[in-house]
Amino acid sequence: MQSSAEVMIPADAVSALDAPVALPVASGSLASVRSTVRDYLSLTKPRIIVLLVLTEVATMVMAARGLPSLTLVLWAALGGALASGGSGAINCWYDRDIDLVMARTCRRPLPAGRVLPWQALTFGIALIVASVIVFSLTVNPLAALLALGGGCFYVFIYTMVLKRTTPLNIVIGGAAGAFPPLVGWAAVRGDLQWPALALFVIVFLWTPPHFWSLALLLRDDYRTARVPMLPVLISTAGTHRRILLYLIALIAASLLPGMAFGLGYVVGVGVLDACYLALALWARAEGSSRAAALLFHFSLMYLALVFVVGAFAAS
């Protein structure tokens, strides 16, 4: 009879103990966490965040006439991203009914049921509160107030009032996306001066032609959702005429900061203006979805480059 210390373990049992153990539950949990993180990130509309934070940081460089403190830039960029992301999440919460019937948006987390409405709303509010705290503690109260004002304008004025009631929705609502230059200037200077207001006007006038070129591609979606975007109410040719009118006003406004930032700014932005105008004229003559798509994508690059040119010219 063997003692417990002398009990022999079969060799095949030892091999089994040494073999890797599959953990399907843990693996599934990790995949679920990743999917949830992706869903919440998508609620913040990260591509919009990138563009808005770029205009904010570039304006900081213009306001400082050089490179501001890296710490200040990082805190301001974080605060701006939180404000934009929170506003985007609340927009997704409020628009979940029309997102459900639009082909472009029906797979978003809320209409698809992957995130509950109260979760998205709580998430959005938390991000905006975090933004105010970050700006107040690390930047200055004016920047905090402007970031909060931009978020509130987007949520309450554009999303809840204008978007579903008037074709002027994106014309007036474009002010929401124009707040980051004000925030960036205030972050560095602690006040607002005319170059900051000129940059605000640039983004404000850029928004309608930018968004209408996208709305031309999504006309059927907006018609189904009963959202009165301009291309739903007038013809493609009429929409292109409005785009050109706003583009002419945008070009005039885009050159104003040259009085503060010099000839290099005027030349660089003038080239961008000429390219944008030429593409808009071609898109009007072409009248196709492909032309509208090219115009939309160029408009994104245009705004980013205007602010990059401004940052280089000022520094």
What would the pLDDT profile of 10-19 be if each residue is shown by its tens digit?
Answer: 444 334 334 4
Count of beta carbons in the 10 Å neighbourhood of residue 169: 22
**What is the spatial distance between Cα 67 and Cα 69, in angstroms, rounded to a whole number?**
7
Give pLDDT tens digits for 245-275.
999 999 999 999 999 999 999 999 999 999 9
The tokens describing 207, both together, are 């928004």
Q: What is the pLDDT of residue 175?
A: 94
Q: Does position 23 have pLDDT exceeding 90, yes or no?
A: no
Question: With bands split at pLDDT 50, 70 and 90, how would you rate the model's confidence at 28?
Answer: low
pLDDT tens readout for residues 57-67: 999 999 999 99
Does the structure show a pLDDT above 80 at 211?
Answer: yes
Number of Cβ within 10 Å of residue 187's Cβ equals 31
Q: Is 257 helix (H, G, I), strand (E, B) or coil?
A: coil
User: Residue 270 is encoded by which pair of tokens?
Assistant: 């003038």
If you average pLDDT over residues 108-117, what whole number do you get? 94
Predicted local confidence at residue 31, as pLDDT: 78
Q: Which SS3 state, helix, strand or coil, does residue 281 take? A: helix
Torsion sign, CA atoms 166, 169, 171, 173: positive
Residue with tokens 């009032």: 161
Q: 9 CB contacts (<8 Å, ≥6 apart)?
A: none
For residue 8, give the amino acid letter.
M
The pLDDT-based confidence of 6 (bands split at 50, 70, 90) is very low
Percent of the chain with pLDDT over 70: 91
C-alpha to C-alpha distance for 128 and 124, rounded to whole angstroms:
6
- 288-303 per-position pLDDT tens digit: 999 999 999 999 999 9
Q: Which helix (H) or strand (E) holds 291?
A: helix 289-314
Mean pLDDT (whole number) for 64-84:
96
Helix 70-94 × helix 24-43 angle, to 10°: 90
Which CATH number does the domain 42-192 belong to among 3.40.630.30, 3.20.20.210, 1.10.357.140, 3.20.20.70?
1.10.357.140
Whether 172 contacts 157, CB under 8 Å? yes
Asked if residue 247 lies in contact with residue 279, where contact means CB atoms within 8 angstroms, the answer is no
Domain spans of the chain?
42-192, 194-220+232-315
Average pLDDT score over residue span 164-193: 95
- Model pTM greater than 0.85? yes
